[in-house]
Amino acid sequence: MVQFELCYQLPDTSEETWLAPQLFSPSKPEVLNDWAAPGDLVLTYRYAFLPKGLVSRLIVRMHRFVRKPDLCWNQGVLFEQGETQLIVETAARGNEIGLRARGPEGKALLSVIASDLDALNASFEGLADKVGKWVPCVCENCSQSTTPAMFAQKELLERKHRNKQTIECPKPDYPDVNVLELLDGLKLDELPDWATDPESVDEDEELTPSANHSEATTAEKTISEKTIRIFLALSAELREDRDEFELYFLQQNHRLRKQGLYLEIVRWENFLDAISETRLQDEYNNVIRDCDIFVSLFKTKTGKFTDEEFDVAHQTFQETGRPLIYTYFRQTSVSVSGDNRDDLESLWKFKDKLKKLGHFYTEYESIDGLQKHFRDQLDKLRDGNTL
């Protein structure tokens, strides 16, 4: 039952006691009925189909934040970290999971719980394309409401790509809201130390170190943590896949940091389109040479610059053994016509080049399949001390 995340052991009990969240009461504790308050940090997951037992598994995985098991039910839980609290709850309509946090470290706790929920979602084959994130409006009226208007993260990202700076709140007085502020409202640059699962701490490490020892330990972690730079190359038609790919692995960093790794995703938007002594593409190529992993995504065409970036990565790999190269093609059905024939021919030509180079590519059906495959590759590289 532990292996399948169906139960967990209660700490600090005289007798060995285990809790199985799926057997909790279906009723929400009365003390939590009016818990929502203006100013809470809110994140909502909307599912086309919500897998049974998802919240119960989340409780098992994150039980270190369950301070009061009597405030758990089989559709929700109150997580606590110091003076910070967060409720996870399945909506009455049955296709939403809401996260609502408050307290001095609300953003950090929300980030930790959301990241693990993302990992759970990814464990279900085909689910990633059937779930979307919704973030709350931050206009003056919504900020003072317990039920703010919600925006689909996917739509906000699309507006960002199209340089649309604002979006209208659907509630009166319909004010314009800054898109970047909405996207960055729940963003956290660095997780606190408590975000790491204490079970991953070395048993030989002193649990109550002195200040000097704490500083030394922090310095040691900084030195031992290795940054893995991943360059993402793709055509504009796969920007959505790229965003989901990047977001997923950035959210995995708190897990990977336990293993001494940190992923830095590099993409062309990271560069300023400023005048330089060389082509801007030359700047991209120089960064590729300094990366540890090169990932390219394709669908129905291969752009000349993406083709060039692959050549730079491949040549550098032959010379130095870096970067490791992963090439993915999204499966799609297209018709061969005069309008897209040139694009398809560029794709076929590129695949022929890969075959001659002896480079094996991977096809994927959905973003969750891409995420799972690449995560497995990272784990294999880590286990083989390749990274």
Least confident piece of the model among 178-182, 249-253, 292-296 = 249-253
Asked whether residue 349 carries a pLDDT value surpassing 80, the answer given is yes
CA dihedral 205→210→212→217, nearest 10 degrees, is 20
* C-alpha angle 9-100-169 in degrees, rounded to nearest 5: 160
Per-domain residue ranges of the chain = 8-184, 217-383
What DSSP character marks residue 338?
T
Asked whether residue 221 carries a pLDDT value surpassing 80, the answer given is no
Q: How many CB atoms lie within 10 A of CB 57?
A: 19
Cβ atoms of residues 307 and 350 within 8 Å: yes
Predicted local distance difference test score (pLDDT) of residue 337? 60
* Two tokens, residue 8: 């967990």
Cβ atoms of residues 78 and 87 within 8 Å: yes
The pTM for the full model equals: 0.53
Please give the CATH topology (third level) of the domain spanning 217-383.
Rossmann fold (3.40.50)
Could you report the per-residue pLDDT of 294-321, keeping only the tens digit for each? 999 988 888 777 888 899 999 999 999 9
pLDDT level of residue 219 (50, 70, 90 thresholds): very low
Could you report the per-residue pLDDT of 94-110, keeping only the tens digit for each? 889 999 999 999 989 99
The residue ranking higher by pLDDT, 272 or 175, is: 175
The length of the chain in residues reads 387
Could you report the per-residue pLDDT of 44-96, keeping only the tens digit for each? 999 988 888 889 989 998 999 999 999 999 899 999 999 999 999 999 888 89
pLDDT level of residue 283 (50, 70, 90 thresholds): confident
Could you report the per-residue pLDDT of 365-381, keeping only the tens digit for each? 888 888 889 988 888 88
- Sort 147 into a burial class: Cβ within 10 Å, 0-12 / 13-18 / 19+: exposed
Predicted local distance difference test score (pLDDT) of residue 281? 64
Mean pLDDT of the chain: 81
pLDDT level of residue 383 (50, 70, 90 thresholds): confident
DSSP-derived pairing of the beta strands 150-152 and 96-102: unpaired
Rounded Cα–Cα distance for residues 157 and 35 (Å): 31
Please give the CATH topology (third level) of the domain spanning 8-184.
TATA-Binding Protein (3.30.310)
Could you report the per-residue pLDDT of 132-158, keeping only the tens digit for each? 999 999 999 998 999 999 999 989 988
Same topology for domains 8-184 and 217-383, yes or no? no
Average pLDDT over residues 178-190: 78
